[in-house]
Structure 1
Amino acid sequence: MGTKPPSPWDRHPSRSRPERAHRERPTDSNASMHADHKRELRLYGLNAVRAVFARRPEAIRKVYLNEARIPQLQALLKWCAVHRIGYRVVEDADLQKLAASSHHEGVVADVLREPAQSLLTWLQALSSDRHCALWLDGVGNPHNLGAILRSAAHFGVAAILLPQHSSLALSGAAARVAEGGAEAVPFVQLGESVEAIAQLHAAGFALAATVVAGGEDVFAAELPRRLVYVLGAEGEGMDRGLAADCDLRLSIVGSGAVESLNVASATAVLLAEWSRRGA
């Protein structure tokens, strides 16, 4: 068992419990705190929390953990103590309530969300190398998003592209399933589709609509060095107009025993094939 570093909550008894919401009219300071709260994301899972600490420690606002995790999170707890970030050692039942999940893996953290980039900002910062990105058209299941992020991180995807009116956002469940991948792949918020496609084309990207049937076999097709896989929603598929605007139509040919792979499994196959071409 590791030694427990001093906690800011331990030093300040008045902070031993999460603060209750105030009822008074917000001041400028209160409004700022409320804005921060709206930007906060409750993460859980060891690798998800470790990934934020490794890349964006300043985003961490609070940490809750069980005693068994202290040895593995010594560096994080020491950082919290130095920077006066509150943390508490709690029971598993408390962690389950905080995470609203039994899959908390012994640690929960409130962190600030990383804002999505604009497409133009992302393109301007992109190197001239070979790149792959994922355009998620209606994907909403958090476990599928988490699995997609994990595959995207594994294969070095440059970004997740979100349609203009997409409500898709990272959740604690998605971040846990991603096993740290959510910190490795940036989100890019697109504008109007026609303009976004024009900007991607101008940057040398081709768009490939991924379809269940009727597309070119991805294992035989020529894949451009800069490629955006466009992936449709679970069940409904992608918007037909968007599919028609893509440069390619690709399918994953299988045995026919089942209709198709789910979107997360299909993403892993598509990315593996794109990665293999660059080896």
Structure 2
Amino acid sequence: MYGINACLALFAHRPQALRKVWLLESRIPALKPVLAFCVKNRLGYTIVEAEDLERLSGSAHHEGVVFGAMPAEELTLSNWLRDLPSGPQLAIWLDGVGNPHNFGAIARSAAHFGAAGILLPKESTLALSGAAARVAEGGAEALPLVRLGRSDNAISQLTAAGFMLAATTVRGGQSLYATQLPSRLVLLMGAEQTGVDPALTQASTLKILIPGTGAVESLNVASATSVLLSEWRRQQMQAPASRR
């Protein structure tokens, strides 16, 4: 993992996952608590040059620090639902999304707007890579990743838990701004080339589009997710207590 905010968030949420730290000398002041933890727990840390960090991270955007750490544990849908509080909750189901930078941007927005989790299909290759974590700026550590089983079983479990499914579409849906969004909502976000799987769209109660000028067909999936999250959050904040 690399990037200063991503690494500090990992240390704040999962210090036990830390195994090794590489950093520039200039990053010592910002990482003093991390280095003290390493000393106390006999974990190695090494002062290196920028080219070493670029080689370790595979990126020029390392921001002066790389962590060697155990990956975050993914939850099953059953365990996630079991521990989920009652009341308003929103989850994001990523169907076919594979770009780690989009994943990181979605995680950042999800954390900002208070989403309860990101749902990943069993066949998805998405994981919290170093690139995704850096783009998320620490947001990926603030919400769980939930690995789904069969889609039909997942839909049944989510519906039984009071969630409504909303599939995003670029045509044929109702305007986001003319839709009363439910307090417990799963947003289905699809890959930019193919969109949400037709079977999942068919199973969704809501089909939503984000209206625009028509100058472009649609927003990037990460941008669209941010718009949808913002509108759900706005509606929940304005809703009377009886609807929350």
Letter in 2 for 1:146: G
Partner-residue secondary structure (3-state), 1:219: helix
Q: Which residue of 1 aligns with 2:104?
A: 146
Question: Quick one: distance in 2 between partners of 1:61 and 1:234?
Answer: 36
CA deviation digits over 1:33-55, x for unaligned, max 9? xxxxxxxxxx0000000001001
CA deviation digits over 1:188-240, x for unaligned, max 9? 01111111100000000000000111111111101011000000012111211
The RMSD of aligned alpha carbons is: 0.7
Letter in 2 for 1:179: E
Q: TM-score, normalised by structure 1?
A: 0.84
Contact 2:98 2:124 in 1 (8 A): no
**Which of residues 169, 173, 182 is equivalent to 2:127?**
169
2:155 corresponds to 1:197: yes
Question: Quick one: distance in 1 between partners of 2:101 and 2:171?
Answer: 25
2:176 corresponds to 1:218: yes
- Structure 1 consecutive aligned stretches of length 4 or more whose deviation exceeds 6 Å: none
CA deviation digits over 1:84-107, x for unaligned, max 9? 011100001111111111100000
Q: Which residue of 1 aligns with 2:240?
A: none
Partner-residue secondary structure (3-state), 2:186: strand
Q: TM-score, normalised by structure 2?
A: 0.96
Question: Quick one: distance in 2 between partners of 1:67 and 1:234?
Answer: 41
2:103 corresponds to 1:133: no
**Which of residues 131, 135, 144 is equivalent to 1:186?**
144
Letter in 2 for 1:115: E
Question: Quick one: distance in 2 between partners of 1:50 and 1:199?
Answer: 35
Letter in 2 for 1:96: E
2:40 corresponds to 1:82: yes
2:216 corresponds to 1:258: yes
Question: Quick one: distance in 2 between partners of 1:94 and 1:168?
Answer: 26
Shift of residue 254, structure 1, vs aligned partner = 0.4
2:41 corresponds to 1:52: no
Q: Which has the higher contact order (CA 8 A, sep 6+)?
A: 2
Partner-residue secondary structure (3-state), 2:207: strand
Letter in 1 for 2:54: Q
Contact 2:91 2:116 in 1 (8 A): yes
Contact 2:18 2:68 in 1 (8 A): yes
2:28 corresponds to 1:70: yes
Letter in 2 for 1:65: L
Question: Quick one: distance in 2 between partners of 1:168 and 1:70?
Answer: 32
Letter in 2 for 1:176: R
Question: Quick one: distance in 2 between partners of 1:273 and 1:213?
Answer: 19
**Which of residues 59, 66, 86 is equivalent to 1:108?**
66
Of the two, which has the highest radius of gyration?
1
Letter in 2 for 1:130: P
Question: Quick one: distance in 2 between partners of 1:163 and 1:226?
Answer: 20
Contact 2:167 2:204 in 1 (8 A): yes
CA deviation digits over 1:90-142, x for unaligned, max 9? 00111111111110000000111112101010001010120000000010001
Letter in 2 for 1:212: V
Partner-residue secondary structure (3-state), 2:193: coil
Question: Quick one: distance in 2 between partners of 1:70 and 1:87?
Answer: 11
Shift of residue 65, structure 1, vs aligned partner = 0.1
The count of corresponding residues between Structure 1 and Structure 2 is: 237
Question: Quick one: distance in 1 between partners of 2:14 and 2:80?
Answer: 19
Partner-residue secondary structure (3-state), 1:176: helix
Letter in 1 for 2:119: L
